[in-house]
Structure formats: structure tokens, C-alpha cells
Amino acid sequence: MALTRRALLVGGVLSGVAAPAIARAPDRSLVPPPRPGGGGDAAAGATPPATSATRVTGPQVRSIDDLLAEARLGGQVTFAVADARSGLGLEARGRDDPMPPASTAKAITAAYALDRLGPDHRFHTRLVATGPVTGGRLDGDLVLMGGGDPTLDTDGLNTLARDLAAAGVREVSGRFLWHDRSLPAVRAIDPDQPDHVGYNPAIAGLNLNYNRVHFEWARGQGGYRVGMDARSDTLRPEVRLASVRVVDRTSPVFTYENGGGTERWTVAARALGERGSRWLPTRLPGAYTAEVFAWLAARAGCSLPTPEPATGRIEGRTIAERPSGALTAMARDMLAWSTNLTAEALGLSVAMASGAAPARLAESAALMNRWLAARAPGTRPAFVDHSGLSPASRITASDMVAALVALGPDSAMAGLLKDFAMRDEGVPHSVSVRAKTGTLNFVSALAGFARTRNGTELAFAIFTGDLDRRRGVASDDAERPSGGREWTGRARSLQRALIDRWAKLYGAA
């Protein structure tokens, strides 16, 4: 259904859009007009006419000033909302203020990958033999070839090991090599994040378990017993590449050192309880994957030499292969679980498929910026990665809305967005929301589509951030900064309140 008559009158007058133009998507960056209730940006040279059509009466629609005062967020609050079908701007605040999009950037990455790689694209992890197999013996090298799959896990790698045994290979006369150069090697998505956070792993063409190693500890009579493994629900391959030592100190909680092919962690004893576990990132994903594969292959009956990195060109025949799921399903999971590795692997894969060879994530993100600017003319996105993990990425709320309008509420990406609950307690609401959330310390974002009671489709983006407070967070407190949880809760409440306001203003039957 169309917008209500009131919204059409007000929006058309304030934005200078003639009625026949409402059916067309905009060909420039959105400049949404102010709305009644305060807090909105005034369009250049526009003065709301003093007519009853521009005034919202009654207590059911709260003013923006009241909503912001109640949220008590500090820093900046910016937002924009438009009719998702026509692109008609409805309300905005801080429309020219670039903000960190956090994980809402993944919505753009999903659209980018679906457009450039195709919804049925799959990543392939292969085993390549450089010689013949005779009597259970491979006379040559075995190469584990990564295809950039960000979703490969221990169970999937175990299937590949069993396929190797099914191909008749029991031993290898040559070397066991691993190849991870299908994607550029990136040590960490955001180098400014603490070393130990699992959501900031390395990236390579060969990835496993989202490039995380499982660390487990238990206190015994002689101190702590610790272990590192690559577990799944049914398997626990031991990992020797990474080791951890418990040290009698209070802080830092973790230290990390690359020991020239091994990873050495220390952990503060006073930070550990009686027992527990967590996933730690690996900075050597190719070597990690190869070590786990050798363990799984031995379990399947094939003894492999010590893994070595491949150099030079690989020539041989594929004797086993594991494809990933289709890109559509991968992107849906990425948006649902906000997996940073998946987002970066997708963005880098597009860059590699286009013939580029980015050395840094920012170079790959620049290609996505150009793609988006072409799809939504007039926008100026400034992403520096594909996941939104770096706080250095920037986009304005108006540009994000313009991008959503250009992509459309019926796009493949829009269909993958997760439902956003408008009530914490699950009480039904008159507006349904599909959106991507984004959270960094003292940064909260939400962008997507809302369908009101009368069928109006809205595209919106809400970016909030207290960047000064974020910069003051110490490294050891980065996972749980003081006041962070409460701040994020208030930001989420503000997001719901703004959407509720827009549903009442523009979606009343």
C-alpha cells in the first residue's frame, strides 16, 4: 500500500518532490526533510509550512527530543528514514555526519557478494595429488588447497579426510603441503583489537573453525591443566601449533607471541576460576588447518608427513573435494550470527574474482565502496573492511538509507535480513522489522526495512556512538567495558522507540 495521505502531503511539501516523482527511486543522495517533533535536520532553505498537515497531535507520537533525553547516550545520534519504494526522505538527524556502521556493513557486503559472485557461488577445499596412487601409496606430494571457504569446520575437514581414505591413499611418499593463497593473508581484521578476542581472527585462503582454537583449563592439585584443540561436537583434534601457559599475575589477562611457526599464549592465573574454556584466535590459519587435517587423516587410516607451506605453482589432479554451502545460505548465516571472518572472506573473494590483488582489507573495501557508489549515486561510503569491525569505517545514515532504497526491500539481501524484535518480552507490534544490528564498544547501529500496519515499506538507518568514551576503554576491558552493556541497552531502546515513532507517523491506516 502507499503512504498515508498525511505523510505524502508533508513529505512532498518539505522535500520539494512533486507527486509524479514519488514512484521513482532517487538519482542522488537522499536529503530527508525534518519532521514534526523536533530533533530533525532542516533541509537547506526549507521551512515547514504552518498547516495542520505538518503537525502531529496527541501523546501517542513522542518527540525526538524526548526520546534522546530518555536514552542518555552522549556522543552522537544520527538517523534517516525514507519510503523504501520511492526513496522519499521522511526524517533525518545528522544526515551529513559519517558514523561507524559496525556490523550493519555486513548487509552491504552480503549484497555486494550476491551481486558479484552470484547466489549459488560455492567455495571449494581440495586435496591435490602430484603423482599416482598405487597400492595405497601416493607417489608424490599431497596438497591441501584452500579455496577461501570461511565456514569450513572440523567436521567438514573430517569428511575430506575420510574422502582421502576412500580414494585409496594410506601413505604419501612425498610431502604434505598446504596452500592458502587463494585469499590475501591478513593477520587480524582490526589490528587495534586485543590479541585474544575470537571475533578478530586472521584471514587466509585456508580457514578452519572461524580461525579459532579452543582453550580449556581446570584447576588440579599441582596447578592448572590446560589444553588446546580444534573440537567439534564429536571430535577433539589436539593442536600443538598453539600452546598456553598459566602465569601468576593479575594483568594482562592474555599475552600472545608468534614463535616462528608456533603460537604462544600466556594467561593470568588470577583471571581463571576452577575450570572453563573459550575460543582464542589463530594468526596462522593455514598451518592450523593442515595440522588438524593430518590428525583427522591419521584417524581415517592415512599417515601424512609433517605439514609444510606450499611454494610455487601446484600441478596435479584433485582426488577429493569439499564444497561449501551456497553463498545465499552463507550470507544468511553471516547476517544472523554476524560472523566477521565470513564477511571479510566474501569481500576479498569478490576482489580476487575481479582480478584485483589487495594487500590490505582497506584496498578490498575500496572496491566495495565504488560498487555501492555506482548502485546508489551520490553516496560516499568509506568502509575500510567488509565486516564493520574497524571503528574507522564511516558512512552517513542518509547514505545507508539511499543504499537500502537502491537495493530495494525485495532484493536478495533484504530477504536474508533477520527479524528485529520490537518488544523485548515478545509482545507483537504493528510494525515488522528486518534489519542488521551492529555493536562495538559504545557504538550501536541498526539498518534495514520496516513494514507498517498499512503496508508502507520504510528504509532506515540509526547510528549512535560515544566515540570519546570508546577511545577511553583499556585493552584489558575491551570485552566488557564498564557501563558498556547498559549503554548498548539504552541505544537499542532508542532504536525501537524511533521505529515506533515512524510507524505511527507514516504507517497509520
DSSP structure string for 13-64: HHHT--GGGGGSPPSS---PPP-TTS-PPPPTT-----SGGG---STTS--H
More confident residue, 48 or 447: 447
Q: pLDDT band for position 26 (50/70/90)? A: very low
Cα–Cα dist 253/280, whole Å:
13
Q: pLDDT band for position 480 (50/70/90)? A: confident
pLDDT tens digits, one per residue of 133-160: 999 999 999 999 999 999 999 999 999 9
The pLDDT, as a whole number, for residue 96 is 87
Q: Mean pLDDT throughout 87-97?
A: 94
Q: Answer whether the bond into residue 305 is a cis peptide, omega within 30°.
A: no
Residue pair 342/151 in contact by the 8 Å Cβ criterion = yes
Q: Which of helix, strand or coil describes residue 359?
A: coil
Q: pLDDT band for position 266 (50/70/90)? A: very high
Pairing of strands 307-309, 176-179: parallel
- Mean residue pLDDT of the chain comes to 87
Residue 29 in this model has a pLDDT that exceeds 70: no
Q: Which 8-state DSSP code applies to residue 388?
A: S
pLDDT tens digits, one per residue of 330-384: 999 999 999 999 999 999 999 999 999 999 999 999 999 999 999 999 999 999 9
DSSP for 135-195, please give it: TTEESS-EEEE----TT--HHHHHHHHHHHHHTT--EESS-EEEE-TTS--BS-SSTTS-T
Lowest mean pLDDT of 242-246, 335-339, 421-425, 504-508, name the range.
Answer: 421-425
Cα–Cα dist 157/230, whole Å:
11
In the structure grid, which three cell numbers stand for residue 303, read together? 599417515
Cα–Cα dist 315/190, whole Å:
35
Structural domains in the chain, sorted by start? 5-42+51-117+329-506 (3.40.710.10), 124-323 (no CATH)
Residue pair 320/304 in contact by the 8 Å Cβ criterion = no
From the CB of residue 216, how many other CB atoms can be counted at a distance below 10 Å?
Answer: 16
Q: Which of helix, strand or coil describes residue 214?
A: strand
Residue pair 282/202 in contact by the 8 Å Cβ criterion = yes
The pLDDT, as a whole number, for residue 299 is 97
DSSP for 301-348, please give it: T-B-PPEEE--S----EEEEEEE---HHHHHHHHHHHT-HHHHHHHHH
pLDDT tens digits, one per residue of 201-245: 999 999 999 999 999 999 998 899 999 999 999 999 999 999 999
Q: Which 8-state DSSP code applies to residue 106?
A: H
The pLDDT, as a whole number, for residue 291 is 98
Question: Alpha helices of 27-72 — where are they, by DSSP H?
Answer: 64-71
In the structure grid, which three cell numbers stand for residue 265, read together? 599464549
The pLDDT, as a whole number, for residue 259 is 84
Residue 268 in this model has a pLDDT that exceeds 60: yes
Residue 137: which residues within 8 A CB-CB, separation 6 or more?
169, 170, 171, 172, 173
Lowest mean pLDDT of 15-29, 100-114, 188-202, 417-431, name the range.
Answer: 15-29
Lowest mean pLDDT of 135-139, 294-298, 424-428, 462-466, name the range.
Answer: 424-428
Q: pLDDT band for position 428 (50/70/90)? A: low
Cα–Cα dist 370/380, whole Å:
9
User: Model-level pTM?
Assistant: 0.88
Q: Mean pLDDT throughout 238-263?
A: 94
Residue pair 68/77 in contact by the 8 Å Cβ criterion = yes
Q: Which 8-state DSSP code applies to residue 120?
A: T
The pLDDT, as a whole number, for residue 474 is 84
The pLDDT, as a whole number, for residue 39 is 36
Q: Mean pLDDT throughout 248-266?
A: 93
Lowest mean pLDDT of 3-7, 260-264, 347-351, 449-453, name the range.
Answer: 3-7
Residue 308 in this model has a pLDDT that exceeds 60: yes
In the structure grid, which three cell numbers stand for residue 181, read together? 593463497
Residue that the C-alpha cell 542522488 belongs to: 28
Residue 426 in this model has a pLDDT that exceeds 80: no
Q: pLDDT band for position 195 (50/70/90)? A: very high
The CA angle 201-123-156, to the nearest 5 degrees, is 75
Q: Which 8-state DSSP code applies to residue 16?
A: T
In the structure grid, which three cell numbers stand for residue 345, read together? 572472506
